[in-house]
Amino acid sequence: MAIGVKTGGRQKGTSNKVTTDLRQLLKEFVTEELNKVDSLLEQVEAKDRLELLIKLLPYTLPRF
């Protein structure tokens, strides 16, 4: 077999089935959890909600 010559398996650029399935599973999980965020935040004390907001701000606003 020549070095660097592909002789079998998936074609270049074809996605891995396990990776595709895992990404879909994670996407569904995150979507379900995001739908629950509002009700979960209502159960948290105001102090804890403020701390969470402070932690999330760097992901939404640029630093000055």
Is 3 within the bounds of a domain? no
Is 6 within the bounds of a domain? no
Is 12 within the bounds of a domain? no
pLDDT of residue 47: 95
Is 11 within the bounds of a domain? no
What range does the domain containing 53 cover? Answer: 17-59
At 26, the amino acid letter reads L
- Dump pLDDT digits (tens) for 1-52: 567 776 777 777 777 888 899 999 999 999 999 999 889 889 999 999 999 9
